[in-house]
Amino acid sequence: MGTSMNGSWKLGNKMTALVVDDDSINQTIHHRLLEKLGIENQVARNGKEAIDIHCSGKKFDLILMDRDMPIMNGIEATRKLRAMGIRSLIAGVSTRSLKQEIQEFMEAGLDDYQEKPLTSAKIISILHKIDHSGSISLTRT
Amino acid sequence: MDSVIQLQRQLVDYTAQLFNEGILDDQFNQLQQLQDESNPDFVVEVVTLFFEDSERLLNELAKALEQQSVDYRKIDAHVHQLKGSSSSIGAQRVQKVCIAFRNCCEDRNIEGCQKCLQQVKHEYSLVKTKLETLFKVRGKKGKNKSNLFRMNTVAQATDFCLYDRSLSRRFWQQEGQFLGQYNKVKTIAEDHSQRKQNGILDM
């Protein structure tokens, strides 16, 4: 039993996502989690790669942003993306649980924050924040 | 057929034991749910990444603790990574030792750190052995032709395995016995296949 997404988002295209994480285990798991939910996704290894991908013109419905990464971390990358005018749903993902650390990350421009490790339930709860007009429907398979 | 069912039951019990002992937690279930026909080796792939990562980190930690002047920040960074990856695959006991390890780093307690390193090495080695046994018996990448767990029909099972009364009587507690049993059944299955091929078939 699983849950699949029938997403119609922006001109009826399939939902897209960007996984930003420096850890290969998390990259593999998050990529697969999204794939299983029917969300097309690609992976960036750090904040700078995430910015570069956006500069090349690509846009995503959802960005899963890890906090601690080399070259450019998640806080800085989130700030930069918002400054660039990116309005995608950005969910911060981290193992850090201190209130002020979460606050700091949220203030960079996050729409949501989830503690690692991610599960499909957590991703679904992030997605419920995307669009309250119900353009996303979740069906059980 | 009976022996296949027994072995399947033992696999279920073996897996349940790992959860009961806290060696694995629910995150491992999450990984198993991500595996299907389109991604049949997902769990093995992720766990392999974990093994590679962990071995590298454990080496780095050993080296760092041997230094004249210990760099606690570096050690903390490595442990943080190990904590993250162990929690991602559900290696609960490894994760727990990492938490204690980080506390020792914070206190700049060299003896505590050394003790934690030994503990984390022990827990890592334990979960590695258990997972390797699990994968061996479950079979990986379809190369294991006598993978008893891919058999769903009686016809398939009898094709590969002789009925052996003695297999159904014992309940395996020890891992060594479990593996020994698996090897025994495998040998019987291969022998059976060979006999069938040679035209000598006894059931």
Q: Are B179 and B136 in contact (CB under 8 A)?
A: yes
Region A8-17: mean pLDDT is 65
The rounded distance, in Å, linking the Cα atoms of A135 and A8 is: 6
ipTM reported for the complex, 2 dp: 0.80
Looking at residue B181, its pLDDT comes to 66
Contacts of B46 in chain A (CB under 8 A): 25, 28-29
Confidence of residue B143 (pLDDT cuts 50, 70, 90): very low
DSSP-assigned letters across all residues of B140-187:
STTT-TT-GGG--SHHHHHHH----GGGGT----SHHHHHHHHHHHHH
Least confident of A120-129, B17-26, B89-98, B177-186: B177-186
Backbone angles phi, psi at B197, to 5 degrees: -60, -40
Higher per-residue pLDDT: A46 or B190: A46
**Residues B101-137: tens digit of each pLDDT:** 999 999 999 999 999 999 999 999 999 999 998 887 7
Confidence of residue A129 (pLDDT cuts 50, 70, 90): confident
Q: Say yes or no to pLDDT of B201 above 80.
A: no
The rounded distance, in Å, linking the Cα atoms of A56 and A52 is: 6
| Token code pair at residue A140 | 């059980």
State percent of chain A over pLDDT 70. 82
Looking at residue B195, its pLDDT comes to 77
Pick among A24, A25, A37, A95 to test the B interface (most B CBs inside 10 A) = A25
Region A70-86: mean pLDDT is 97
Name the residue type at position B131: L
Region B75-86: mean pLDDT is 95
Distance from CA of B119 to the nearest CA of A (A): 22
Degrees to nearest 5, angle at CA B134 with B131 and B138: 140
For A25, the closest of B39, B53, B80 (CB atoms) is B53
For B84, the closest of A36, A95, A120 (CB atoms) is A95
Answer whether B83 touches A (CB < 8 Å): yes
Q: Is the whole model's pTM more than 0.90, yes or no?
A: no
The rounded distance, in Å, linking the Cα atoms of B112 and B31 is: 33
The residues, any chain, with a CB within 8 Å of residue B35's CB and separated by 6 or more, are: B41, B42, B43
The residues, any chain, with a CB within 8 Å of residue B114's CB and separated by 6 or more, are: B65
Domains (range + CATH), chain B? 2-192 (1.20.120.160)
Q: Say yes or no to pLDDT of A2 above 90.
A: no
